[in-house]
Structure 1
Amino acid sequence: MWLFKKSQNPDPPPPSTEYDRPWRSMDWNKDRQNLLTTINNFQPGNKEVNTLRILLHGPQGAGKSSLFNSVNSALQGRITTRALAHSVATGCSFTLECKTYKVKKDRTGSFFPFTFTDIAGLHECGSVKTDDINKLLNGHINDGYFFNPLSAITEDNPRYKGNPTLKDRIHCLVAVLPANTVSMMDDGIIREMREVREKARDLGIPQVIIMTKVDEACPLVKEDLTKIYTSKKIKQKMEECSCRLGVPVSCIYPVKNYHEERTTNTTTDILILDALQSIVNFANDHVEDKVDNDVCLLKVDNE
């Protein structure tokens, strides 16, 4: 009788969820203060546009309002809740307000030279018309307008601005996508977001993706947020966001919003402030490019 011995070789270890080296550099020890200093000292390059306008858009429950609260918290050094965040379970909205937030800079009453415009999220059972968002990009919609999912704004609406200038327009479009559910997002919502992106592209407006809920998408990052740029899962999710919306990975910033914390922390702040610095720089570049182009066209017309 032949006796077969059980193999003594152990099972192979599971594949690693982490890269050996970060695929995007970040100095977790020094960057927070450097970022705060840079943002505090920032001034727009064009005097006519003294406030840069940033538009947040994306699906319902992605964390747009929470993103603004997180940016404000990182800048103020304490948890803030100025924008009322909506729950995914609240159902469908039929009256949607356009609200622009200033960010207070210090106790003297001054403000940072950028604002965030927040609109309700896109969802399947009636949401903001893409034509309305296009008009918002062009500066035609004043703050306080209530979006109607059944019809776009008309020129006779008191909130409609007939002749917007560069300072009235949006200077950077920020799409907010949730890392944990981006794979399951409705194709119709993605299609609407791509239409808005194409309109922004035609207007020369820079576009950024903020990828939220990274801790819910990756256990490694949930345990240690500094692993975000060594996480294979987060890189995969960023590539998926890029593929679905068409924005380069270099313009995608993964963050964790504040949502249950009672105090701020350095790691969360660094990711948020790093994204904010890029957004502000992109918006400022756009304004300067538009002014330069207008000057060139004026010279051509006068020749």
Structure 2
Amino acid sequence: MHRNKEELLKTINKYAPRHGEKHLRILVYGPVGAGKSSFINSVTTALYERLSIEAAANTSESATKSFTLKYETHHIYREGGYSDETYPFVFNDTMGMEAGDKIGIHPKDIKLAMMGHVKEGYKFNPMSPLSHDDYPYNPNPTIDDKAHVLVLVFSSNSPQIDPSVIEKMKNIRETAHELGIPQIAVGTHVDQACPEIMKDIKNIYRSNSLKTNMEEFSKAVGIPMNCIFGVKNYSQETDNDDDIDTLLLLALKNMVNYGMDFVRKQALKSQKIPTFVAE
């Protein structure tokens, strides 16, 4: 790996809230079966250096329905989970996206979550997205309620996604772009995308088949290649693997950095700092 685990952890631990936020909120979305909840669990495992199940996840390879039904905030505790102090970033999982109307999460709910209008515990309803009159609607979101990074999780083993789901993704991405929220994609199941990676995960940077899959996804959705990170979620392992952790922490490091930059920009805008022109 080009970055070792210790260096990544040092960079991640450098972040501290300094612009009015208590934490960075990382909002995760993507197709059913992509491994969104498993990704959150895997990041937690990498930070704890022990296996952890923070978010309920479905391990079935043939999952066709979302296992995530409610909007919940996942905190990660320091010192391997043995401390009550949490890292200054949180994850929010969402119901999976599916092809067709009135099935899977409604794109409007993801947009409202980005803007901080979705209260904790809201139960996703594909038939009827959250409205201003509903109790779970938060009319006055704070900086901590809003999303600071939007993460699209997809399976790098199956980059071909139904066109209707792609359109939903593009629609969500347009709203995030208008709000200025930074966007990252995480490709899971890299070991399943290439036999050489399955033999040794360090071959992730040498795999032409994985690169082709990533490029195909990048072109379809519009996320640049340098904003797409390949990872392997913990599934069959019974202990930590430094190479798996390194990939997960590399993705997390960029989420934290992008979120930090976004919060700083928002703070500068709110201060309305005047522009000085040199004479």
> Taking structure 1 as the reference length, what is the TM-score of the superposition?
0.85
1: distance between equivalents of 2:5 and 2:67? 40
SS at match of 2:251: helix
Among candidates 26, 31, 55, match of residue 59 of structure 1? 31
SS at match of 1:175: strand
2: distance between equivalents of 1:95 and 1:245? 23
Kept after mapping to 1: 8 A contact 2:68/2:96: no
1:65 maps to amino acid? S
Q: How does 1:92-111 map to 2 (within 5 A)?
A: 92=65, 96-106=69-79, 107-111=82-86
Larger Rg: 1
2:122 maps to amino acid? Y
Among candidates 252, 259, 262, match of residue 276 of structure 1? 252
Note if 1:78 corresponds to 2:47.
no
Structure 1 position 42, deviation (Å): 2.2
Residue of structure 2 in register with 1:33 after alignment: 6
Residue of structure 2 in register with 1:145 after alignment: 122
Structure 1 position 38, deviation (Å): 2.2
2: distance between equivalents of 1:166 and 1:295? 15
Among candidates 232, 249, 258, match of residue 256 of structure 1? 232
Kept after mapping to 2: 8 A contact 1:120/1:128: yes
Structure 1 position 120, deviation (Å): 1.5
Residue of structure 2 in register with 1:123 after alignment: 98
2: distance between equivalents of 1:32 and 1:90? 32
**Percent identity of the aligned residues?**
38
Q: CA RMSD in A?
A: 1.8
Compared with structure 1, are the counterparts of its residues 273 and 94 closer, same or farther at alpha carbon in structure 2 (3 Å cutoff)? closer
Deviations 1:66-90 (A, max 9, x none): 1000000000001111211123534
SS at match of 2:134: coil
Q: How many residues align?
A: 270
Kept after mapping to 1: 8 A contact 2:68/2:94: no
* Stretches (4+) displaced over 3 A: 87-95
2:24 maps to amino acid? L
Residue of structure 1 in register with 2:183 after alignment: 207
Deviations 1:114-133 (A, max 9, x none): 00000121113611111111
Deviations 1:237-264 (A, max 9, x none): 1211211110110100001110111001
1:255 maps to amino acid? V
Kept after mapping to 2: 8 A contact 1:136/1:169: yes
2: distance between equivalents of 1:90 and 1:213? 14
1:277 maps to amino acid? K
SS at match of 1:89: coil
SS at match of 1:173: strand
Deviations 1:155-198 (A, max 9, x none): 22221110113221100000001011112x21111111111111
2: distance between equivalents of 1:95 and 1:117? 11
- Greater Cα shift, 232-241 or 280-289: 232-241
Structure 1 position 91, deviation (Å): 4.0
2: distance between equivalents of 1:250 and 1:217? 19
Gaps of 5+ in 2: none
Gaps of 5+ in 1: 1-25
> Taking structure 2 as the reference length, what is the TM-score of the superposition?
0.92
SS at match of 1:146: coil
Kept after mapping to 2: 8 A contact 1:94/1:148: no
Structure 1 position 282, deviation (Å): 0.2
Q: How does 1:150-169 map to 2 (within 5 A)?
A: 150-169=127-146
Deviations 1:27-47 (A, max 9, x none): 36xx1111122223321342x
Kept after mapping to 2: 8 A contact 1:100/1:118: yes
Note if 1:286 corresponds to 2:259.
no
SS at match of 2:97: coil
Residue of structure 2 in register with 1:113 after alignment: 88
- Greater Cα shift, 250-259 or 116-125: 116-125
Residue of structure 2 in register with 1:22 after alignment: none
Kept after mapping to 2: 8 A contact 1:53/1:172: yes
